[in-house]
């Protein structure tokens, strides 16, 4: 029988009443589900509702301001605020907040009540609901404790939030009242970006501008704006709250820092796409209900590869909205999990020995007509455009593979990248054999006429159908073409997608700009436009051929091959972040207007500091686990085993028991040794001078030391009596309470 531990009780507190709001009883008493369309977006107020509710001229002013990137006049803002307030108050909202994404990687909100005091004649105070245009469009949170990477000295520590009207306003319907959230950008006194949204919006603008210039050049004269689209697939773990609460490492860091592998992990491959356990399903249904009301178009849910691991995928949207929605999704997941007695782990590597979690960022670009430019299409012109845009994206990844790698660097993702479960730290692009062959023939000059017949011969038109079936299969690639979009798979599960996506947008924008210049040159020399485009495609194909890789990204040969090709191999966050210091990266980010020099430098500092702080918390948590949980259990076991040895009679048993004791003593010694070295190292960190130096010491000295400490602790878990073991084990966390 298993020892009875406090965490064995399931905290499942899920009650059917949580979901009955979505059920209606028909006249014969049978229950049926309310169609999603009836409550989808009911907690949001976006451009659609504004068009409906605002006076025509006010709505027109808003759209004009949006299109031209101009400020709203105070009358317009006032009129909008009034309509929003009416809608919100009628929904039972009492407070509003500017909702923004500072560089902590989380979101921030500061709530203010919708009230204003009025003095009546008899100097009595009356409270009225009030929300002004000024409150809608701008805020000034006390921002001195948000990271700025040294950009704001204390005397200008002010930060400002400004409404981003392109993303819908929404209501958080919490357990204790409702709050109106206004999506905002966050910036400093001199306009410097202090958040993740501002660079994303800037990158969208540059991308749209450069792509339109290129499209005009290839004959798409009516192109006005280009939109980047994103569908982020979110992976996560669900574990019982009792298990989480009994593990100081999970409480402190969101991941386990110790834990021997359970005899069963994911080797039976029985979890992936398996039937969803009832408890997880109840969580998902509840989560989806919340998300639908917030206008988040969640579409897919399934089990992932590891036990207790799951995935959620939305329908793709404009990247800015998709990024807000993903942040909102992560927050809602945590909130809803709590209600179900569960904890949702979004960390990239909550458990050793089984898969970690990623966030595959499906990305594409489309024109005003909604045509996906990465969709080969049906006409020869669309096919040629497809080839051109494809080679432009390939060129972008080829040029800025290192910055893309830096954009996904985080302590959590360091555990994934390069492990045989997730893409490697080397960025390459997988196209699928069909498209790969097409680019190979183009490179060899087998299709340089760009005639209709030749394009058809290349087989571009068949790609959507064929790649739907085949291209998705290379799960080892960090950046894979999957039929009509790219899938950036190396992004970590806890990432704010704005960071990698703004870099990707910027890289593609730069590549469009370069392609436009080259195409203009070619057009100046040749008469036939299609031939000029084909020649551009061919020259790009030659240049970016080294970024293409169709093989197994996990193999050792690939690492050698990538080294030969000169691709950047940046295994750790510490190495990847240094990219932000090189001239090529700086020039690229500055000329695409995504970040200024000062902003790049500040982001570097913030990332380094976050790395150091995260790692310091992890290392201190591990040392605590070792010294106050594991060592005492081991001491008791040694004592008990010693007593047993004293009463043993047979020589064979005595010898074996002595050996067992010796090995436990050796483990105790090793733990004490590594533990004290780790503490000495941690205590010496602050004397290292700058943060970059600290990062180096953590990455190259302390982390390997911690790995040794953990390994001994894991071995000890296998020899100490289960009754004495003070922490929930992997087999309990991953296989109990969640699996029914
Ligand atoms: P697959 O099975 O090939 O991965 P899915 O249709 O399941 O494709 O899509 C996976 C994710 O990719 C979803 O979130 C989906 O919305 C997103 N996606 C599909 N098309 C696009 C696109 N044009 N741009 C961005 N994301 C897309
Ligand atoms: Mg997936």
- Residues with beta carbon < 5 A to ion ligand 2? 233
pLDDT above 70: percentage of residues in the chain: 89
**E strands, 538-605, where?**
none
> If you measure from the C-alpha of residue 524 to the centroid of ligand 1, how many angstroms do you get, rounded to a whole number?
39
* Termini Cα distance of the chain: 20
Look at residue 27 in the predicted model and tell me its pLDDT. Answer: 57
Number of Cβ within 10 Å of residue 582's Cβ equals 13
> Quick one: pLDDT band at residue 164, thresholds 50, 70, 90?
very high
Q: What is the pLDDT of residues 401-456, one digit of tens each?
A: 999 999 999 999 999 987 767 778 899 999 988 889 889 988 888 765 556 666 66
Work out whether the CA dihedral 301, 303, 304, 308 comes out positive or negative. Answer: positive
Cβ neighbours of residue 16 closer than 8 Å, sequence gap 6 or more:
none
Spatial contact of 146 and 103, defined as CB atoms under 8 Å apart: yes
Q: Which atom of ligand 1 is nearest to the CA of 363?
A: 25
pLDDT above 90: percentage of residues in the chain: 67
Q: Which atom of ligand 1 is nearest to the CA of 372?
A: 23
Look at residue 670 in the predicted model and tell me its pLDDT. Answer: 98
Three-state DSSP state, 454: helix
Measured distance CA(265)–CA(34) in Å, rounded: 39
Best mutation site among 298, 364, 390, 485 for ligand 1 pocket (most ligand atoms within 8 Å of CB)? 485
Pocket residues for ligand 1 (CB within 6 Å)? Answer: 229-231, 233, 313-316, 362-364, 372, 472, 482-485
Tell which residue, 340, 321, 114, has the closest CA to residue 229: 321
Residue with the two structure tokens 């080829």: 398
- Name all domains of the chain by residue range, CATH numbers in brackets: 35-195 (3.10.20.70), 203-608 (3.30.590.10)
Q: What is the mean pLDDT of residues 351-374?
A: 95
Torsion of CA 496, 500, 501, 503, to 10 degrees: 140
Count each helix (H run) and each strand (E run) in the chain, helices first.
Answer: 26, 20
DSSP string, 605-666: HHHHHHHHHHHHHHHHHHHHIIIIIIHHHHHHHHHHHHHHHHH--SHHHHHHHHHHHHHHHH
Look at residue 461 in the predicted model and tell me its pLDDT. Answer: 62
Measured distance CA(488)–CA(25) in Å, rounded: 44
Look at residue 367 in the predicted model and tell me its pLDDT. Answer: 94
Cβ neighbours of residue 35 closer than 8 Å, sequence gap 6 or more:
none
> If you measure from the C-alpha of residue 316 to the centroid of ligand 1, how many angstroms do you get, rounded to a whole number?
6
Q: What is the mean pLDDT of residues 377-392?
A: 90
- What's this model's pTM, rounded to 2 decimal places? 0.93
Number of Cβ within 10 Å of residue 27's Cβ equals 5
**E strands, 350-451, where?**
359-366, 429-430
> If you measure from the C-alpha of residue 526 to the centroid of ligand 1, how many angstroms do you get, rounded to a whole number?
39
Q: How far is CA 363 from CA 84, 120, 482, 483, 552, in A?
A: 32, 57, 10, 11, 22
pLDDT at 229 over 50: yes
> If you measure from the C-alpha of residue 175 to the centroid of ligand 2, how many angstroms do you get, rounded to a whole number?
32
Q: Nearest bound ligand to CA 493?
A: 2
Q: What is the pLDDT of residues 645-672, one digit of tens each?
A: 999 999 999 999 999 999 999 999 999 9
> Quick one: pLDDT band at residue 17, thresholds 50, 70, 90?
very low
Three-state DSSP state, 177: strand
Q: What is the mean pLDDT of residues 594-614?
A: 95
Number of Cβ within 10 Å of residue 610's Cβ equals 18
pLDDT at 481 over 70: yes
> If you measure from the C-alpha of residue 78 to the centroid of ligand 2, how many angstroms do you get, rounded to a whole number?
44
Please give the structure tokens belonging to residue 674. 């590594």
Output the residue whose Cα is nearest ligand 1's atom 23: 364
Q: What is the pLDDT of residues 261-289, one digit of tens each?
A: 988 777 776 666 678 888 999 999 999 99
Cα angle 71, 74, 78; round to 5 = 120
> Quick one: pLDDT band at residue 20, thresholds 50, 70, 90?
very low
Please give the structure tokens belonging to residue 596. 């200024």
Q: What is the pLDDT of residues 112-138, one digit of tens each?
A: 888 777 766 666 777 777 888 888 888
Best mutation site among 302, 314, 362 for ligand 1 pocket (most ligand atoms within 8 Å of CB)? 362
Cβ neighbours of residue 198 closer than 8 Å, sequence gap 6 or more:
185, 186, 187
């Amino acid at each position: 029988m298993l020892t009875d531990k406090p965490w064995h009780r399931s905290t499942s507190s899920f009650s059917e009443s949580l979901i009955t709001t979505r059920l209606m009883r028909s006249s014969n008493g049978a229950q049926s589900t309310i169609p999603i369309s009836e409550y989808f977006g009911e907690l949001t107020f976006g451009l659609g509702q504004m068009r409906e509710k605002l006076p025509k001229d006010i709505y027109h002013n808003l759209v004009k301001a949006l299109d031209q990137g101009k400020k709203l006049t105070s009358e317009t803002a006032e009129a909008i605020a009034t309509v929003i307030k009416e809608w919100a108050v009628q929904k039972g909202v009492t407070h509003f907040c500017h909702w923004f994404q500072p560089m902590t990687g989380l979101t921030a909100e500061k709530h203010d009540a919708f009230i204003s005091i009025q003095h009546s004649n008899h100097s009595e105070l009356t409270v009225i609901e009030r929300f002004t245009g000024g409150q809608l469009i701008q805020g000034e949170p006390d921002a001195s404790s948000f990271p700025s990477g040294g950009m704001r000295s204390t005397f200008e520590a002010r930060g400002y939030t400004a409404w981003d009207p392109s993303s819908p306003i929404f209501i958080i319907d919490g357990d204790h009242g409702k709050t109106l959230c206004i999506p905002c950008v966050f910036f400093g006194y001199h306009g410097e970006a202090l958040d993740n949204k501002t660079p994303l919006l800037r990158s969208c603008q540059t991308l749209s501008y450069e792509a339109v210039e290129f499209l005009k050049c290839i004959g798409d004269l009516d192109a006005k704006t280009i939109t980047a689209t994103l569908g982020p697939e979110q992976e996560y773990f669900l574990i019982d709250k009792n298990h989480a609460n009994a593990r100081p490492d999970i409480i402190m860091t969101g991941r386990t820092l110790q834990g021997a592998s359970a005899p069963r992990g994911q080797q039976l491959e029985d979890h992936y796409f398996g039937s969803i356990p009832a408890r997880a399903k109840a969580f998902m249904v509840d989560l989806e209900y919340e998300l639908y009301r917030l206008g988040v178009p969640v579409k897919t849910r399934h089990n992932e590869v590891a036990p207790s691991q799951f995935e959620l995928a939305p329908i793709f949207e404009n990247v800015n909205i998709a990024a807000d929605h993903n942040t909102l999704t992560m927050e809602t997941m945590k909130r809803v999990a709590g209600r179900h007695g569960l904890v949702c782990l979004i960390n990239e590597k909550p458990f050793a020995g089984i898969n970690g979690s990623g966030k595959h960022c499906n990305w594409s670009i489309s024109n005003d007509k909604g045509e996906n430019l990465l969709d080969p299409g049906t006409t020869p012109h669309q096919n040629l455009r497809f080839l051109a845009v494809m080679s432009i994206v390939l060129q972008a990844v080829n040029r800025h593979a290192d910055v893309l790698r830096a954009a996904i660097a985080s302590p959590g993702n360091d555990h994934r990248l390069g492990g045989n479960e997730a893409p490697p730290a080397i960025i390459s692009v997988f196209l699928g054999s069909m498209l790969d062959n097409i680019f190979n023939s183009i490179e060899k000059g087998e299709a340089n006429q760009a005639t209709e017949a030749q394009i058809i011969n290349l087989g571009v038109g068949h790609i959507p159908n064929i790649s739907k079936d085949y291209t998705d299969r290379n799960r080892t690639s960090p950046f894979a073409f999957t039929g009509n979009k790219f899938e950036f798979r190396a992004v970590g599960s806890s990432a704010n997608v704005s960071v990698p996506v703004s870099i990707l947008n910027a890289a593609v924008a730069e590549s469009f700009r370069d392609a436009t210049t080259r195409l203009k040159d070619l057009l100046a020399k040749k008469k036939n436009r299609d031939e000029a485009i084909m020649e551009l495609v061919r020259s790009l194909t030659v240049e970016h051929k080294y970024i293409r890789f169709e093989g197994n990204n996990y193999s050792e040969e690939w690492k050698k091959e990538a080294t030969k090709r000169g691709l950047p191999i940046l295994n750790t966050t510490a190495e990847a972040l240094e990219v932000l210091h090189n001239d090529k990266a700086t020039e690229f980010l500055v000329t695409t207007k995504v970040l200024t020099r000062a902003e790049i430098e500040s982001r570097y500092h913030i990332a380094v500091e976050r790395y150091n702080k995260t790692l310091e918390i992890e290392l201190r948590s591990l040392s605590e686990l070792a010294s106050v949980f594991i060592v005492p259990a081991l001491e008791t076991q040694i004592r008990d085993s010693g007593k047993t040895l004293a009463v043993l009679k047979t020589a064979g048993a005595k010898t074996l028991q002595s050996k067992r004791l010796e090995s436990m003593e050796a483990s105790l010694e090793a733990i004490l040794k590594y533990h004290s070295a780790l503490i000495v190292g941690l205590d010496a960190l602050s004397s290292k001078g700058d943060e970059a130096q600290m990062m180096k010491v953590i990455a190259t000295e302390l982390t390997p030391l911690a790995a040794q400490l953990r390994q001994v602790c894991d071995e000890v878990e296998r020899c100490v009596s289960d009754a004495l073991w003070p922490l929930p084990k992997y087999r309990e966390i991953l296989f109990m309470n969640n699996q029914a």
